[in-house]
Structure formats: C-alpha cells, structure tokens
Structure 1
Amino acid sequence: MSVESTYPHNHPRQVAISRKIALMMALDFRPFNIVENEGFRNLVQYTDPRYRMPSRPVFSMNLVPAIYCEVKMALQKDLRRTVVPFSFTTDMWRGQSTEYMCVTLHWLVTNEERIPQLRSALLGIQEFSQAATADNIRSRLEKVVDEWCHDTRAMGIMCGVSDNGANIKKCLRDAANNGSIHGSVSCLAHNLNLVVHDVMKTQRRILDGLTVLRKVVSKVKNSMPVKRKFEELLKIYYPNSTHIKLQADVETRWNSCLRMLSTILPQRLAIEALIQDRVMQSHGVGLPKCYNHWTDMCDTMQEFVKILEPFHEATLLCSKTTSSLSSYFPTLKGLIVSVERAQVRGIGTTKDQLLKKLQEVMATHIMSDDNDHIYLAATLLDPRYKKFIPLHKREQVESAVIDAIISIIDRKYTTPISAADGDQDETEEEESQQTQEYGGPYDSDIETPPEYTNEDGDNNPATPINNQPPPPVQDSRAGRAAANMEDASLMAGILASTEPDSDDDIAEDNESLRDVASRELKRYLQKPNIDIRSNQEAVLQYFGENGREFPNLTQTALSFLACPMSSVTSERMFSLAGNILTKKRCSLDPDNLNKLAVIKVNYHYIR
C-alpha cells in the first residue's frame, strides 16, 4: 500500500487506533515490541488497511505517557472530592535487580444519595535507588503524596499502613510524632503470617509431617510411575468421588501449606497407601521418628488444620478491599477466641504457642499506650463494635477519640485547601455542597466559634466535584468467600468476644472544641449498635444517614473507616508488577513500569 493511501499521523482514526493499542499494552501486560511482531501487524493491517503502525518508541515515549497523564488528571479530580483525610499503604519490593516502592491511597467520597463510598488507587510503583533508610523512605513518600494530592494535602493524612520492617516502621512512627500523619498501622495480615510462621518453626512434629507430605506432592507431580499409582489408589478408595488435584506449598507461606493440606486430607486413605507403597520407598520417603504410624501423622495434620482455618479466615477478612481499621481489634480478638475454642488432640503445645503469640500482638499493637489507642479509637467509632472496648481502657479510648475529632477540626480551619487558578470557582462550589451533606463542623445546635469562621462567615470544608464516579472495585473470589462468614469459626469468635499550650485564649478555644467533641461522642454512644454481621457498606450508610447529629465525629469515624487494616493492596501491586517486569522485559525502564502499572490499576477512572 502506498504512503498516500494511509492515514495522516494526526487523522482521528489513526490516533484512536494507536491509543487503543497503547491501552492494550498496559491492560494486558503486552510488551512494546508487539508492534514489531509480524502476526500482530498483519492483524491490524487486516482490520484497517489504511492504518500505519507507529514505531515502538512512539508508544513507550509518547502514547503511554499521555494516557498516564490522562489517568493522573482524572484521579486527582476524584481526590478533590474526598470528604475526610486519606490514608495510604506502602511496601518495598525487589524486581530483577532494582528495588521499588509502592504507594496506594485510600479515601472516601459521597454519592448522589450523600452516602460515603470507599475509593482506592495506586499512586505509583517507583524505583528506589537510595539506601532504604527511614529518612529516605519518608522523603519519597512525601514526594509521592505531594505529586498526587497537592490540591487536597490540607485535608491531611490519617494513617500509614505497612509491614513490620524496622525502616518503614520508624519512618511512619516519626511522621506520627511530628504530626505529619495521625498514626501508623501495623499490617494485620503480616502479623498473622509471622505468628503462624514463627510457631511452625518450633513444632518438630508439624515440620516433619509437612516435609514428608511436601515430598509426596512433589513426586506425584513430577514422577509418572508415582502419579499412575496414586490415580489407581484414588479409584480404589474413592470410586464415586471427584478427585482433588494436589497442590504444592511454598515453605515461607503458611496459607499455601493450608491449601496443600486441604487437597491431601480429603484423600488421606489414598495418600497413606501411596506413602507405604514400594513405589514411594525408592524415593526416600520414610515415616518421621516422632510418629508411630502414618495414620498418626495424618491425624496430627488434620488437627493442625483446625487451628489454621481461623487464621485463614482472618487473613481473607483483612485482605478485602473494603476492610477497615475499625475491624482490626475485633478480628484479632475473635481469632484468639476461635483458637481457644478449637478442640484439638496431640498438638496442645502448638495451640498454646499460637495463643501466646497472638496475645503478644494484642499487647504490642492494640493495648500499648505508645500508639495513642488508634486501633481502639477506630473500633469505638464503628457502630458495630462499640461494646468491644475493654472497661479498663474505656476512658482512655474516649479521650483519644475526642483528641482525634479536635485534630481534624483544627486541620480543616487552620489550613484551607488551595485550588489551582482554573479550579477556584469549582472548589468553592464543592465546599458549599459538602456542608449540605454533613452539615459541616459545629452544625446543628452547636454554636460556631468565631475564631474558626472565614471572612464570608462560611465555615465549610471542601467537598466533591460533581463528576461520574468510577465503578466500584470488585473483590476477588477469596474476598467474596470471606464476606459470608456468619457461621464461620472466626465470626463466632468475634461474636463471643464482645465485652462490656500556655496561651489562655488558645486553652479556652481548645476547651470549647473538647466540649463539642464530648457532646457528639456522648450522643453517638447513646445510639443503639447496628448488627455486628453488617458489612462495610451498612456502616457507611449509617454515617450517611446520621452524620448531621454528630458531624465532627462522623468526619473522624469516616477517616478511620477509609484506612485499611493491612497493606495487602500494596503487596498485590507487586504481583501485578511481576506480570509486567518479566524475564523477557528485564530491561524495561522503571518509569515505564510505573506508568503501565498506574494505568492498569486506575484505568476505570478514564473508561
């Protein structure tokens, strides 16, 4: 085809097809050099003979960055709709020979019915070439947040969520101490993983049994004689049942160990027969010395699964996209009760060690006075869990809630949100809209202190831009399974664990704020609890419907509800990055990796 018969480079059809190809690269993990593949070029040529395929640099240097900027602008527009301080999760990851930092953001907006809705987004998976010290991590976090949230930074940061790495813990702790963030949260999923992993390393009977079963699964998968023999035994012992494919585990992940056991134990008769068959004896699979018989070993593994199942349910629960900080303490408390109730034989020491480790997590993170009771404060502000607060901590937690309310009020009135010149009118309109939704601080029968009123007499916080919200994030299959837990052992445990400065003017103002916060808290606590089995949407609807009665407390409660109780979202981003940065794409520029990941995760903002 002659050049004259093809589209000009700026033709709408040429531009549209090129953009779709660039989107495909980001959404389907396709490499840039796909445009050089003969089969792909033939397909596009057949679809539209007049289309002229641009070169690879055009996609990597022009089209993908342009789509990234489009996603970034759309996301920043949605961030300006936030009604409360946002929270973030972060983690570090090494891909190929480069270290990366991931940051995800979590916030709340309101829909047309004035009901709060959760939002989350990936801000970046950026190359981290410096030493991973607390100061360097904090500097990078501030840079990322300022880049994306410069219009909404005055709303403040509620919490930062991370694993237990010493450097990131120090970074977030220092940020909390100097007021950059309200508090730091230790990832619950990471803590549970450490608990199980540490206990498993000390239990010889468990370790030896898992080692043998791990060898059996490996031989069934890799040796044809062993596989044929196992299939014969399955037909003998389970002739009318559907046979389950054995799954191998990863030694560093206890939940994969649970999956392996869940495929072995339902077929334990065939497994026991296979282990004792001569086809396996040639592979050096022998009975561990701590067991008397193969049946004894399988019985022990069966009992071990009874203890692991509540941990698995808790991990799924805190890994959901809708999980919030308010469920941290109830989940951990319910898990302890579930493990205590587990009736097991032969592994009492393992059960005792797990309970001891869980109590250490509870004492270190929940009950410690070093974290300003942030976990318990979030729990108290969830209408499902008011009764969970221990009696000896009640007064301290209520004081922490009042301090949090005052902090958010101060932040709103002492640091007004600055808008870009072109968005000033839009921002003022947003502020008026949000006051209609929640009444604004000091609403209803409470008098507004003059010190916190602007020149026009308006004391409204910034509110949503009236644009079409992106579709809700879909939970994974595991997340949907964890949502229906009414009869599960973890939910049963949760249900069973419910128990009862020197300037005089400044001091006077703070006292007035404390009175306001105290009255709202008292009004909130007098209201009945909602069903403990209610989901997160019901809690958000509760504050959407009752926010006018205690507007400042509502703002604080929603700030905690927007904060996740684990950093699983960041860890999931590294799995996504691994699909982009494959061995065949090991030379991919880190900046392009970041852009492709952001487009992939946040594409629904421009769809």
Structure 2
Amino acid sequence: MNLHRQPVAKILLKKYFLFSSIERNRICGHCQLCNQDYKDKAGIFSNFIKHLKRKHLSEYEKTFKKQDEGLLEEEIIECDGRPTTELSTSKFKQAQITLAIAKHLIIKCNLPPNLVENNAFRDFMKECNVKWTPVSAKYLKHDTIARFKEKVIKIIHDTLSAVDHLTLTVDGWTDRKCRSFLGVTCHFINFKMEPESYLIDFVRLKSHSGEYIHQTTESILDRFQIKEKVYKVVTDNAASMIKAYKFGLTIDDEFNDSSREIQLLSKTNEMLNDSYEDFDINNFHFIDIQHSDEDIIDYGHSSDVRLSCFVHTLQLCIRDGLKNASHIPKVLGKCQALAKFSHKSSKMADLLEQLNKNIHKMNLTRWNSEYLLIKSIYSISKNELELITSMMDNPVKFSSNDLTLLEEIIHILEPFYEITVKCQSEAAVTLSLVVPSIVHLISHLHDIKQDISFCSKLVEQLQESIKTRFSGITNRLNLVDVAENDPYGDTLYFMAAVLDPAFKFYWIRDLQLPIHMENRLKQNIIQLIIDEMNKDSKKSKNDLNKVSSSSATITFTATSKVKRRKLFNYDDSNMDDSNESTTLDPTVELNAYLNDP
C-alpha cells in the first residue's frame, strides 16, 4: 500500500476525518477522534496523516502498515517546520521510478543491476524525467531489491504457516562457470483447492555429498518451520540425492554443528553481496548437474519420504533404448554431426533460413533432445537435406533406410515426448499422470511393434527399460508382489491416478486385461486407498475381501494394425468394449466417486 497515492490515502483517512473543501484550492479535515480541524492543499493528505500518527498512534499503525513500496510518512521532508509538498512529491516520484526499475527491468526482465550505471540508460532516464537522480547498482541490490525480497519471504512464510501438508522438489544446477546451486521448491494445495508452488531457497552448493545436501535441506525447512509438514521429497536419481534422503528428514542434534552453519537466503543480502558481483544474468544459464553413469542409481528406496522424478527416469529409459538398439547410434551420430555443424557455419545458417528450416541443437541435459533433433532433420526433404549436408567439411549421407529409421524413431518416441511435456505443467497436479503414462507407453510399444521394420530392437529395449526402471508399477499391474526396494513401488502412484477424476480406472482399459484380472487389479488399488484412509481415521471401516496374490502376467489380445492411441483419450467409444467390473464395497465416499461418470 502506498501512503502517498492520494485516492488511497483519502479512502483510508475517511474513517477518522470528515473532509470539506474551502477557499484557494484547500481542504479541511475534522478529526472525529479528538474534534480538531486541520487543513492541507487539495489532493494532499500529509498533515492529516501526521496528526493521526502523532496523536492517535494505534489507529495509525492499524491503518498504515509499513510496506516496501512508496515512502513512509516520516520520510516526508520538512523545511522550517512546514511540509514541503514539492520536495516530498519529488522524492516520492524518485522512489517510484527506482522501484519500477527494480521491479520491471531487473526482476521481471532479468536485466543486470549494473544497468542503472550505464551512461546510455541514465541519459534515457533524464529524457523521461529531468529530475531523476541516478542510483548505483549497489543501492539497487542492497536496498530496493532486498526490500522486495524481504516482503516476498514474509508472504511465503505466512502462506506456508497455514499449510498442513506439502511436497518438496530438490534440484541441483550449475551455471556456465561450473558453480553449483541447490534449489528447493515446495508444492501444496491452497484453500481454493488450487496447486501452488514457491521456490523457498536457492543456495550455493559447496559439496555434492548426500550429507551436505541433507543438511542444507534441513536448514531451509527449519527456517520456514515446515519440516514436520513435508509429505514427500522429489529428486532425480543421482546417488547423492538418494543418500541425502535415505532415512527421511529427521537427523540427530549433533548433525547441526554450528561450525558448519549453512549460509542461506534468509540473510537478506546473502545472494546480493560482493562475492556475487560477477553474476551477469544474461550469462547465467542453468543446466542440470552432471553425474557419472555410476552415480545414476534408479533403485533402492530406503525411505518413504523420497520419490524419483518421473520425467527424469523416463528420459533414462529413452537413453537406454537409443544407446542399446542396433543401427540407431550410427544414424543418431549423423544427426548430431549435422546439428553441430549447422550451429557453427554461417553459410549453412543462411541456407536453413532460406529454406525456412531449423535443426534442433543436441543437448544431453535437455529432455527429449534426441527426439527434437531427429524430428527437425526428418522434416527436411531429401533433396534439401542433400544440399545442406554437401556444405559440411566431411559430408554425412542419409540413405533411404536412414530416413525410414528416423521416421520410425519419431513414431516410437512421440508418446514419450507428449508425456514429458504434459508432466512439466505448472498449473496442474502431475503425480496422477505417472501410472496412466506408463500404461499408455506399455500399450503403445506393444501395438507399434508389429508395424516396425528397422527399430524393433529399440522397442524391445524401451520395453525392458520401462520394466526395470518402473518395476514397482509394472509388477503391481501384473498382480505380482512389489518388493520394498522396487523403484516406483510407492502405492501413492496408483492412489493418485484413481483419485484423479480425469483418470479414475479408465486407464486400465489400455491394458486389455481379461475381466477377472481387471477386477482383481481394481480391488487391489481400492484396498490400498482404504488402507491409507484408515491410517488417519479412528472409525472402523469394513475392509474388502482380500484377494490372493498369485502372480499373473499382463496379456494383450491379438489385433490387426492399430492406429496409435491418443494420449489419455478415454472417450465413450473406447469404453464400449471394456470389461465390466463387479460391484465392490469400499467406503461410501469412495464408492460414490468411482461410480460417478
């Protein structure tokens, strides 16, 4: 709230003053608290605010809380004991301009703070406002932006204090100078039943050890007083991340040795001090922290707290398939060579511009990088492709078989790409997508295998990788017992899918299971939900009859050449041939939900 935005000030003061116009463009205000009259220029309310502050402090503090936008009343300059309106207005405008620069240019446009020290920028500002007084980058960082940050931290802290449960995502990053950082984001459902997320800290990571990551996370959570509210922690599959949360979030007191205190963003100027003067936002490009192959562990979940990042695991499946399938690494190497040259040769760049084509740049730290590269090259006609490759120092040749292979790869990987994009949504809950996505991929790979000429090995490798990396899900789908250390063995994935109205049990139809197996699978999942409900309920509930855990294998009915299913498309026409489940007896609420169309 800005105390000097005249309409706002007038509205707030009307609770205490009766205003009336008098001669010479002045107004009179009668204080209803002490029956005193005060005067000021029309549209100016400084004298009334001062009176309220000096004589009725409690009412002043209730009405005018200190904010970081605008000037406070004590900042109004006085001259010879009288308020100097012109000076106060000028200072107010100066503050507003500085705030606007910080808010819109530095924060929202990601421009470097030293922009305000650029001579051209200062000349521009003088053209806009002759009276504008230049400020330093140091003042902008340590004062203006710091006040913005304090306000944001307070808002986040107040919001999280009202939240009962939340989930964390912990990500590691490096910048172009190979400095490591750790970002901690919290996700929760607000009182409007809408998903919200906040980046609660972003700190320098001085060690990649699991112990240090654990300690850093603990310190951040303690500062916001939310450690007991954490339901799950989502990370990638790096060994250090798995080790960090192997035993949850509870640690011994000796672990918090004060000599090893971590410097966090809670100290207002930590990220703005002189040690960060070399930060240039334009060159600050975040990439995923790289791990050696032996560090990538996709198994072993000793704690119920940690969950693996689904999309990250999905990308590992894609890499498994492309790396181990015959013929594909060679063709992919040609694509990579062409992409590398196209981003170095100005002549090829000009040719691509003339052809209105673009070759996607290969980047192993970017999801779906191979798919986008292959698709961009396949979109170029054979004649144009020959023209482009002829410009290379060592031209690569794409045969007809190569192009057919690229086409098959695109068809095979397209659902992986669609799922990845879907799971990156910031405005929707994505946990419920995991099981339907895996089921869709299993069905897709089964259906497409009969139409593939060159990439059958890729399909087999993808099937095997999904079975291994998502064994907790595939075993449960096959009605096989899930071991404690099976990746993605958490029952949460199935419960979230069924409790999402967009999915319920619709996704089971993609498996084309015999009716008795479909019913058993549904019963098992419903029992998981009831068991979870009973954990927080003191009232006894009638459990369903337990079903035997004899193993079974998912089978598919033989089909002719099938058109690829659309992702998560469960329309009525697809449901006509589905199996009808027998009537179950869960809790009333669950039963009503599952039977609601």
- How many aligned residue pairs are there? 413
User: Which among 193, 216, 236 is matched to residue 140 of structure 1?
Assistant: 216
The residue aligned with 1:401 is 529
Please give the residue correspondences for 1:435-584 in structure 2 after superposition, counting only pairs within 5 Å. 489-492=566-569, 521-529=587-595
Residues in 1 aligned to 2:115 and 2:209: alpha-carbon distance in whole angstroms = 39
* Counterpart residue type for residue 332 of structure 1: I
The residue aligned with 2:274 is none
Residues in 1 aligned to 2:378 and 2:178: alpha-carbon distance in whole angstroms = 40
Residues in 1 aligned to 2:343 and 2:589: alpha-carbon distance in whole angstroms = 62
The residue aligned with 1:334 is 440
Aligned-pair distance for 1:127?
Answer: 1.3
Residues in 2 aligned to 1:354 and 1:226: alpha-carbon distance in whole angstroms = 35
CA contact (8 A) 1:35 1:55 kept: yes
Is the aligned partner of 1:18 residue 2:131?
no
- Percent identity of equivalent pairs: 19
Aligned-pair distance for 1:30?
Answer: 1.8
The residue aligned with 2:465 is 357
Residues in 2 aligned to 1:10 and 1:223: alpha-carbon distance in whole angstroms = 54
Residues in 2 aligned to 1:525 and 1:177: alpha-carbon distance in whole angstroms = 37
Is the aligned partner of 1:38 residue 2:119?
yes
Please give the residue correspondences for 1:170-249 in structure 2 after superposition, counting only pairs within 5 Å. 170-175=243-248, 183-220=305-342, 222-223=344-345, 243-249=356-362
Residues in 1 aligned to 2:446 and 2:570: alpha-carbon distance in whole angstroms = 9
CA separation of 1:491 and 1:44: change in aligned 2, threshold 3 A: same
* Counterpart residue type for residue 184 of structure 1: R
The residue aligned with 1:426 is none
Aligned-pair distance for 1:79?
Answer: 2.9
Instruction: State the structure with more CA Rg.
Output: 2
Residues in 1 aligned to 2:570 and 2:350: alpha-carbon distance in whole angstroms = 43
Residues in 2 aligned to 1:139 and 1:221: alpha-carbon distance in whole angstroms = 42
Equivalent residue of 1:346, what SS? coil
User: Which among 147, 157, 160 is matched to residue 66 of structure 1?
Assistant: 147
Aligned-pair distance for 1:251?
Answer: 4.8
Equivalent residue of 2:190, what SS? strand
Aligned-pair distance for 1:61?
Answer: 1.6
5+ unaligned residues in a row in structure 1: which ranges?
A: 235-242, 288-292, 411-441, 447-485, 501-517, 532-607
CA separation of 1:217 and 1:302: change in aligned 2, threshold 3 A: same
Aligned-pair distance for 1:350?
Answer: 0.9
CA separation of 1:164 and 1:222: change in aligned 2, threshold 3 A: closer
CA separation of 1:499 and 1:336: change in aligned 2, threshold 3 A: farther
Hey, which of these two has a bigger chunk of helix by percent?
A: 1
Aligned-pair distance for 1:19?
Answer: 2.0
The residue aligned with 2:205 is 128
User: Which among 390, 393, 396 is matched to residue 283 of structure 1?
Assistant: 393
Equivalent residue of 2:201, what SS? strand
Is the aligned partner of 1:298 residue 2:298?
no
Aligned-pair distance for 1:530?
Answer: 5.8
Residues in 1 aligned to 2:92 and 2:537: alpha-carbon distance in whole angstroms = 50
Equivalent residue of 2:393, what SS? coil
* Counterpart residue type for residue 169 of structure 1: I
TM-score by length of 1: 0.60
Residues in 1 aligned to 2:197 and 2:586: alpha-carbon distance in whole angstroms = 29
Residues in 2 aligned to 1:355 and 1:285: alpha-carbon distance in whole angstroms = 35
The residue aligned with 2:494 is 376
5+ unaligned residues in a row in structure 2: which ranges?
A: 1-78, 252-301, 477-481, 509-517, 542-562
CA contact (8 A) 1:334 1:492 kept: no
TM-score by length of 2: 0.60
Equivalent residue of 1:489, what SS? coil
The residue aligned with 1:416 is none
* Counterpart residue type for residue 353 of structure 1: Q
User: 1:505-543 deviations in whole A, cap 9, x for unaligned?
Assistant: xxxxxxxxxxxxx99844313434566xxxxxxxxxxxx
* Counterpart residue type for residue 566 of structure 2: S
User: Which among 347, 358, 368 is matched to residue 455 of structure 2?
Assistant: 347
Equivalent residue of 1:110, what SS? coil
* Counterpart residue type for residue 310 of structure 2: L
User: 1:213-258 deviations in whole A, cap 9, x for unaligned?
Assistant: 33334445544666677789x6xxxxxxxx4333332255462222
The residue aligned with 1:76 is 157
Aligned-pair distance for 1:374?
Answer: 2.1
User: 1:33-59 deviations in whole A, cap 9, x for unaligned?
Assistant: 222111111222232233322322222
User: 1:279-305 deviations in whole A, cap 9, x for unaligned?
Assistant: 45x722345xxxxx7111111111111
Residues in 1 aligned to 2:367 and 2:316: alpha-carbon distance in whole angstroms = 9
Identify the range of structure 1 (387-396 vs 366-375) with the bigger mean alpha-carbon deviation: 387-396
CA contact (8 A) 1:134 1:170 kept: yes
CA contact (8 A) 2:234 2:307 kept: yes
Residues in 1 aligned to 2:208 and 2:331: alpha-carbon distance in whole angstroms = 39
CA contact (8 A) 1:8 1:14 kept: no
The residue aligned with 1:48 is 129
Aligned-pair distance for 1:16?
Answer: 2.3
Residues in 1 aligned to 2:351 and 2:148: alpha-carbon distance in whole angstroms = 55
User: 1:167-216 deviations in whole A, cap 9, x for unaligned?
Assistant: 212333411799x9963221111011101112211234112112223333
Aligned-pair distance for 1:141?
Answer: 1.4
CA separation of 1:230 and 1:374: change in aligned 2, threshold 3 A: closer
Residues in 2 aligned to 1:499 and 1:77: alpha-carbon distance in whole angstroms = 49
Greater relative CO (CA pairs within 8 A, separation 6+): 1
Residues in 2 aligned to 1:499 and 1:250: alpha-carbon distance in whole angstroms = 44
